[in-house]
A and B are shown apart, each in its own frame.
Chain A
Amino acid sequence: MALPAFGAEIDSSHVLSTRTAFGIEETGTQLLDLSWQPRVQWRFEDGGRLTGIARLRFQQEPGTRPGDIERGSYTSVSRPALIGDTAELDLREFYYERSLGDWYLTLGKQQVVWGKSDGLKVLDVVNPQSFREFILEDFDQSRIPLWIVNGEYAYTDQSGNDWTLQLLWIPDQTYHALPKPGATYAFTSPRLVPKAPSGIVTQLNDPQRPDRIIRDSDVGLRLTGFVGGWDLSLNYLYQYYNQPVLHQKLNPGGIVTITPRYHRTHVFGGTFSRAFGDWVARGELGYFSNRYFLTENLHDDDGIAQSAELSYVLGIDWSGMTDTFISAQLFQSRLTNDQTGFTRPEVDTSFTFLARRMFWNDTLTTEVLWIVNTHDGDGLIRPKLSYDLDDNLEVWLGLDVFYGNHQGLFGQFADNDRVLLGVKLGL
């Protein structure tokens, strides 16, 4: 729908969607999610565009309600508004964009997506993420948009190669939204949360979060180019890592207080992708200069230890058969500090496999995604069947199966296997 108004053309659309998940081990409804997402775009005569996307969600089931995630990780200007116990209203995105000479500016609340990997993230860390459903929700929905000044400068070098330099200034100190203890997808793996010895009382303090708009803002820089058939990028981000570090302190009386704090890190990285016949090779690498991980080292007084982290992914896609797409990825994360006692392995390796096939002129899509962690032997299998009933109406059926022991990233949710039914209507 397009209407002229005040020198601008207005374009609007809406997406209505529902997802219902039924637990398999723990029977009953695990998730009941009804969402309305309106999108409005104003186009001005000078070429500028103003885009607003809101989301009103009703989430009925205890454990996955809006109040079941830590809302203190949001700044007040980015935090969704709670409506009762079961609904939240979120201004998902609101940005103005236009060309200015060789620059293209995007100002406002937005998502900036870096990286070439699927399913797991290395460089896609500019925006934080909601872990309300761990990594099961679509990233487009779980990624938390931030208020960002985003400028892109385009130029062509003497050889005719096309380059883009992106500069980011992110004054919005919103970080990962983590489930509260007891929520359906609350973290319990010792990789992520400290375990108190029996008899020890723990007390979780409010997070100590950066709050100085200028000094605590993040900055980013990315150079992307297309050279000799290769898509390349160099990335740099100076950020507060989005996941809080859980500093522990033993107090008189045997009470352990846990204080979540955010720490700065430099992120240096790069990406590549290139097609070779039926194959596409792609990869990304990120070096995080200053990460903190839980440790069980008895000589450590706050339960965490510092290390740099090198993460990378190598992926290969194959589309040599009609309407078929097959992809495999290797993820690896290495800690440079070789001290023993980290609750996660020094080298952590995961693989992902994705197979997708389309039928009936792309109206029926079948796919299965398998993510496996080789250290803990746990993983996640996600088959999905979706069908376009109409131009604007999609129905789908999916299965999320976690396996492995409860110590692992995926195994911690081994009791959360679920069957999902979804409907998505575009208007």
Chain B
Amino acid sequence: MHIYIRFILLWLLVAPVSAMADKLPSGDEIANRVNARDEGVAVARNLTMQMTDRRGKTRTRKTRGFRKYYGDEKRTVIFYLEPSNVKDTAFLTWDYPDIDKDDDQWLYLPAMRKVRRISASDRGDYFLGTDLTYEDIKLETRISIDDYKRRTIGEDKVDGHHCYLLESIPVDDETARELGYGKVEQCVDNKIWMVRRARFWDIRGKPLKTAYFRDIRQVQGIWTQHRIEVENHKTGHRTLFLFSDVDYRQGVSDTLFTQRALRRGL
């Protein structure tokens, strides 16, 4: 009898958890919910990047950026404002929905006085000295559907917010090499469908970096992250992105997403 009571108690404890796990949305469902979130057709914002090495030395970059959707095509431009040695550097991306079509990217370096076409395939390269890759920057708050297979592995809390744990594995070795990641684990807030934390492993399976997405609040009705903290566990290097003056309504001119605009600056 005593054994039966124990068994019943154990069943009462486990059954709800098991049932809850069965109720967790699938990885693809979570990714689709994240990607369906309203990001606004266009946005203008300031971005301050602080990069700190393992000895504590910090470099700061101030930029103004713009992003606009043209249907499923996304165009992004970033203009560097400070410090003086990178001032007027500008970076433009046209990101196409067709996965077989490479993005078009251009970089303006003021010392060269030329807009230079750059290869878009090095998406695992770190973006201008930060701990985020070109691919991370391009995705913003979205999740890449085609590059990974994903599954929901549980639940967690980040900064007091409940979230689903989403594990993503690159679809093949070549994609893993391109991205520089062997595995990504994201904690997705199930109320606002935004990533609160992302952990990255390198292609050898070793912990690579952790990113926290904080100070998430609504701007003009759109949930917006204002702070991204990234720590690279291999190098000890850290990056802090601070967004300010975020504006989805001011209207972003199409002429900003041209090579002419890169040359002229803001």
Contact = CB atoms under 8 A, between A and B. Distances in A.
Partners in one complex: yes
Contacts of A360: 53
Max count, chain A CB within 10 A of own CB: residue among B53, B59, B83, B119: B119
B51 A361 contact: yes
A252 interface: no
B113 A113 contact: yes
Interface stretch (B10-18, B23-31, B125-133, B136-144): B125-133
Contacts of A104: 260, 264
Given A154-B255, A322-B180, A275 B114 contact: no
A176 B122 CA distance: 40
Contacts of B105: 275
Is chain B's interface secondary structure helix, strand, loop, or mixed overall?
loop
Contact of A138 (B111, B130, B258): B111
A140 B129 contact: no
Interface in A378-427: 388, 390-392, 394, 424, 426-427
B60 interface: yes
Given A140-B113, A426-B85, A362 B128 contact: yes
Interface in A1-37: 13-15
Given A275-B120, A319-B122, A361-B51, A391 B85 contact: yes
Contact of B102 (A164, A277, A427): A277
Sorting the interface of chain B by its residue count into under 10, 10 to 19, 20 to 34 or 35 or more gives: 35 or more
Contacts of B151: none
A282 B60 contact: no
Contact of A390 (B59, B122, B130, B260): B59
B130 to A, nearest CB: 7
B83 A322 contact: no
Contact of B118 (A226, A280, A320): A280
A362 B258 contact: no
A306 interface: no
Contacts of A140: 110-113
A361 B130 contact: yes
A55 to B, nearest CB: 14
17 contacts: A15-B84, A275-B117, A277-B102, A277-B119, A278-B122, A279-B119, A280-B119, A282-B117, A320-B122, A323-B125, A362-B126, A362-B128, A391-B83, A392-B85, A394-B85, A426-B85, A426-B87
Given A115-B114, A318-B119, A390-B57, 15 more contacts: A13-B87, A104-B260, A138-B111, A139-B112, A277-B121, A317-B119, A319-B118, A320-B119, A322-B126, A360-B53, A361-B126, A362-B129, A391-B60, A392-B85, A426-B85
Interface of B: 51, 53, 57, 59-60, 83-85, 87, 102, 104-105, 110-114, 117-122, 124-126, 128-131, 180, 235, 237, 255, 258-260, 264
Interface of A: 13-15, 97, 104, 111, 113, 115-116, 138-140, 152, 154, 162, 164, 224, 226, 229, 231, 273-280, 282, 317-320, 322-323, 360-363, 388, 390-392, 394, 424, 426-427
